[in-house]
Amino acid sequence: MSVADPKARQNARILCATCEIGAASAAGSGHFCPFVDRSRQAGELIYLEGEPANHVWFVKQGIIVLLRKGGENNAEGRVRAVRFPGSFIGLEAVVTDRYIDSARATTDAVLCGTTREGVDTWLGKKGAPARTALELTLRAESVDLPRRAPPDGNAVERVAAWLCEEGPRGETLTLPRRIVADLLGMRPETLSRAMAILAERGAIEVSRTNLRIVSENKLAELASGGSLPSS
């Protein structure tokens, strides 16, 4: 079969001489590259979801997984994406205070890192088109909720978790149920049943066209599997 040697990309290493970041630095305002090499061992945690986003990294070698737990439940978070050499990780630092995922090296890795201020300077003038586009893109990505599947909790828990996150923003509550169901990785019928249960438990009030959060506490509790499961 045509699969390339699996080790090839894993061992590939970006050198400063040929690095896009290095090249960009020469073209940028700073005229020098603020990123500094740093090695990580396989399995090592690079940063943790929710902690202050003080650093941004560029992957030069190795494979990094991004995990997101979203709500406050499920202990460790699930893998959301995989990053290879040539990608940034933690770039959300440009638009948020805290990391939106955890990052962990799955192989020995070489990362080039700099501080939040470092990238801030490196990116050039705020309000420039490319920088504005970058920020809007990162911002959109940071509120995208990872596609949820049964391993993330059952239907009721996922709906409750979603309402905890999205509810306060209030925007998505008017979306057609079919769309919400898609986002939560379930069928409209399942969403409907889950909302009926949340309503029955007094966490929300639903009509066919409206949805009102009655108790954020109850919602949070149900999101993490609380309340008697009953039946």
Q: Please give the residue ranges that form the binding site for DNA (CB under 7 A).
A: 149-151, 154-156, 158, 176-178, 185-196, 206-209, 229, 231
Crossing angle of helices 216-223 and 155-166, in 10° steps, is 140
Task: Please give the structure tokens belonging to residue 43.
Answer: 């399995």
For residue 180, the minimal CB distance to DNA (Å) is 8
Q: Minimum distance from CB of 97 to DNA (Å)? A: 32
- The entry of its own copies, DNA, none near residue 195 (CB within 5 to 8 angstroms by kind) is DNA
Q: Show the CA angle centred on residue 77, arms to residues 74 and 81, nearest 5°.
A: 150
Q: Which does 21 bind (CB under 5 to 8 A by kind): DNA, its own copies, none?
A: its own copies
How many angstroms separate the Cα of 159 from the Cα of each of 154, 167, 174?
A: 9, 11, 15
Which residue, 5 or 228, has its beta carbon nearer to its own copies?
Answer: 5
Q: Tell me whether residue 46 or residue 181 sits nearer to DNA (CB atom).
A: 181
Closer residue to its own copies in complex, CB, 208/230: 208
Nearer to its own copies, 124 or 226 (CB): 124
Partner touching 93 among its own copies, DNA, none, CB below 5 to 8 Å by kind? none
- Shortest gap between Cβ of 97 and its own copies (angstroms)? 19
Q: In the bound complex, what is the minimum distance in angstroms from residue 69's beta carbon to its own copies?
A: 12
Q: Is 169 helix (H, G, I), strand (E, B) or coil?
A: coil
Using CA atoms, how far apart are residues 137 and 71, in angstroms rounded to an integer? 22
51 vs 171, which CB is nearer to DNA? Answer: 171
Buried b or exposed e, range 169-199, using 16+ CB within 10 angstroms: eeebeeeebeebbebbebeeebbeebbebbb
Residue closer to its own copies (CB basis): 129 or 228 = 129
Minimum Å gap between C-beta 176 and its own copies is: 7
DSSP state of 98: B
In angstroms, the CA 139 to CA 144 distance is 9
Query: Could you tell which of its own copies, DNA, none binds residue 106, using a CB distance below 5 to 8 A set by kind?
Result: its own copies
Q: Are the beta carbons of 54 and 120 closer than 8 angstroms? A: no
